[in-house]
A and B are shown apart, each in its own frame.
Chain A
């Protein structure tokens, strides 16, 4: 029985070694076509929904002079004017660890500003703020040619922001179901994004080295 088992193992060894060799070769072949270890990206996009919820809509200008109950505080209510955001700018540094896996560190920044009016004092004041997202991103590359790469990615990190005298710090998460890069050393990228920082699409450019 022992002899038979030993014989089977001996017979199977060439196949195991061959499979290992094929994997190594595939990775090496990829490295030949894609010799970059690192990349940096800058991007822009998405609606900063989390910021809207946290800061902008909470202090919205929904002052209602037509409140059905007559109150002096309604008449002279501090009013918010239109509010603006820059949109989320992002920067990322990534490491291509495997053909199929890239680990990145992403920083996203959104700027916000608006105006407020105090009818009692007759004073206009400017409000401003910013929010930041810092998160490691795991990117799974599921289609690779020498020019085009397609991927999906997920990330988990920290969100911190301020607007006027409000502060917020909490967990942040992102998911990009589909992303694409086109180019070699310099490349463009585009991805759909569902994240606490932004919602929608994210586009940008990058450099591999």
Chain B
């Protein structure tokens, strides 16, 4: 009996069990690419789709009542929250929910400044940037400023966080083409890390996303670069450079 007693104690000493099976995964190239393409989606894709929607909204607001009633995209879907502040969804195509203060101006007016009170964009992105579910937003008081009437240039910005300049280049087979220059940063709230992103030396060319006859989205076609450099203090910690090639797979390089 005493031997059994001792054997029990020895056996119990070796017993343990694993409770959580999470694994540690140091930051790698794939994660850097995911993060960087997410920034591209938030500060390039969303501004393009927002501009597409706001231009459509602006046109709608200037229509006659009869023409408004015939506009299935916006008619009956707009709430006027207060003077010049409108809330609307664009779920049909882009899954954007937006509340904007137009300040009583058309978005095409010289020096027009629209203020975003709320913007969220979500859904599955079939573009060649991201192929997964996304959930983006822009901060309250993000400004949309008409900066060049002749060349149809708007600037979307929020303090020193980001600035996205969008230049309308016309249409190609019914799809709008934009030249986008984006710069900005993503600051960690927990450490001294800061990610600086930019579209590089040349603007990124983005072709509007539309549905085809089979109700399948033709993804935004991107052409150009999107670079992200992550600094820890003043030291470059990680980087990811994405190259978009319309029709070809997106290339990326990282330091990992």
A interface residues, Cβ below 8 angstroms from B: 42, 44, 47, 52, 56-57, 60-63, 65-66, 68-76, 79-87, 89, 111-112, 114-115, 117, 119-120, 122, 124, 183, 186, 204-205, 207
Enumerate 10 A-B pairs (CB-CB under 8 Å) in ascending A order. A42-B8, A60-B22, A65-B25, A65-B31, A70-B39, A70-B186, A75-B31, A82-B23, A119-B26, A204-B8
Q: A42-B9, A72-B195 are in contact. Are A85 and B24 (CB under 8 A)?
A: no
- A residues near B5, Cβ cutoff 8 Å: 186, 205, 207
Given contacts A65-B34, A70-B41, A70-B186, contact A205 B8 (CB under 8 A): yes
B18 x A84 contact (CB < 8 A): yes
- Which residues of B are in contact with A by a Cβ distance under 8 Å? 1-2, 4-5, 8-9, 12, 15-27, 31-32, 34-36, 38-39, 41-42, 122, 132-137, 186-191, 193-195, 230, 232
Residues of A within 8 A of B16 (CB): 84-87, 111
Contact B191 A85 (CB under 8 A): no
> By CB atoms of chain B within 10 A, which of A71, A72, A83, A204 has the most?
A72
Question: Which A residues are CB-close (under 8 A) to B36?
Answer: 70
Q: Which residue of A lies closest to B21 (CB)?
A: A82
Contact A83 B20 (CB under 8 A): yes
Cβ-defined contact, A62 with B136, below 8 A: no
Interface of B is mostly: mixed
Extra contacts, 4 of them, besides A70-B38, A207-B5 (Cβ < 8 A), are: A42-B9, A56-B20, A79-B24, A186-B2
Within the complex, which residue of B12, B23, B135 is in contact with A69, where a contact is CB–CB below 8 Å? B135
Cβ A76 vs Cβ B34 within 8 A: no
Q: Is the CB of B26 within 8 A of A83?
A: no
With A73-B188, A79-B22 already in contact, the answer to whether A89 and B38 are too (CB < 8 A) is no
Alpha-carbon separation in the docked complex, A122 to B24 (Å): 12
Note all chain A residues with C-beta closer than 8 A to B190. 73
Minimum CB–CB distance from A85 to chain B (whole Å) comes to 6
Contact of B15 with A87 in the complex, beta carbons under 8 Å: yes
Closest chain-B Cβ to A193's Cβ sits at a distance in Å of: 16
* Interface contact A61-B39, CB-CB below 8 Å: no
Docked pose: A114 CA to B186 CA in angstroms: 31
A69→B22 contact, CB < 8 A: no
Which chain A residues lie closer than 8 Å to B31 at the CB level?
Answer: 65, 75
B140 to chain A, nearest CB (A): 16
Q: Is the CB of B4 within 8 A of A85?
A: no
